[in-house]
Amino acid sequence: MNNSTNGTLQSAPKISTVLQTLFIMMYSCIIIIAVGGNGIVCYLVYAYKRMRTVPNYFIVNLALSDIIMAIFCIPFTFVANLMLNYWPFGELLCPAVCYLQIVSVFLSAYTLMAMSVDRYIVIVHPFRKRITTEYALFIILIIWILSLSIPIPTLFNARIQYYSNTSGQCLETWEGNDRGRYAYSVIIMVLHYFAPMLVMMFCYTTIRYHIWLKHNQKDDHNSRRLQLASAKQKRRFIPSSLFAMYGRCIHRFYDLKS
């Protein structure tokens, strides 16, 4: 699924049976682990009241984003691009799959951004009022509204481009409206790449600096406190690692779409 076509649309060369088998096994494992693992996360937070914290609510939202990608995007893209080299799922599913793919990426981006802001408030401004669970749910609602609304143009511009009488690829065509396609691509890039990345970069850079500053102000006699702080710092490394992975993966996502 690409943004546009260049020249005459042609069927891509088919891959070997051995590679197809390996890809089927690999993608099947990815889908099972993504749906199963993220489903367990959602269940644990739902089933155990003590797990219903602000960070865990954001993690559940991230898990839902992964489940959407694993169920509604990966299988269709895999079959169309790697197995058959054409879109076999009909006109209706083409825009739906393209749309849900972008929705999933938006959900991930804005949830990671919300997590970074939450960690920033807790660590850098510990005496300020923290995000409550009710407010976290409101933030998640806003994230869903934005994620479902912004990619709507994709629903009206993704369709099957036929390279023969019966076979074609699912693409965003924009009916020759290059200016509209370019403007939409720039808006999407800014809203779900640059804006979240800048917010996350600011939050985690400030957190790192704040932790480093506090450690330098410690006395040598507070070794136990330093050990505890070090343990906490390792736990705080997890969200910042997600930020780094997101930046790398979303950059690769745009490389593949271009």
- Residue 145 to residue 150: CA distance in whole angstroms: 9
Contact in structure between 26 and 196 (CB atoms under 8 Å): no
pLDDT in tens, the chain (258 residues): 554 444 344 445 566 788 888 888 999 999 999 999 999 999 999 999 999 999 999 999 999 999 999 998 899 988 888 888 889 998 899 999 999 999 999 999 999 999 999 999 998 888 888 889 999 999 999 999 999 999 999 999 998 888 777 788 888 888 777 888 889 989 998 998 899 999 999 998 898 888 888 776 654 445 445 444 444 544 444 555 555 555 555 555 544 444
pLDDT recorded at residue 148? 97
Look up the pTM and report it.
0.80
- In this prediction, residue 179 carries a pLDDT of 86
Q: Given this model, what pLDDT does residue 181 score?
A: 86
The domain spans of the chain are 17-257
At residue 258, the pLDDT reads 45
Q: State CA 171 to chain mean position distance.
A: 21
Q: What is the pLDDT of residue 21?
A: 86
Which one is the CATH code of 17-257: 3.30.450.20, 1.10.357.10, 1.20.1070.10, 3.40.50.720? 1.20.1070.10
pLDDT at 228: 46
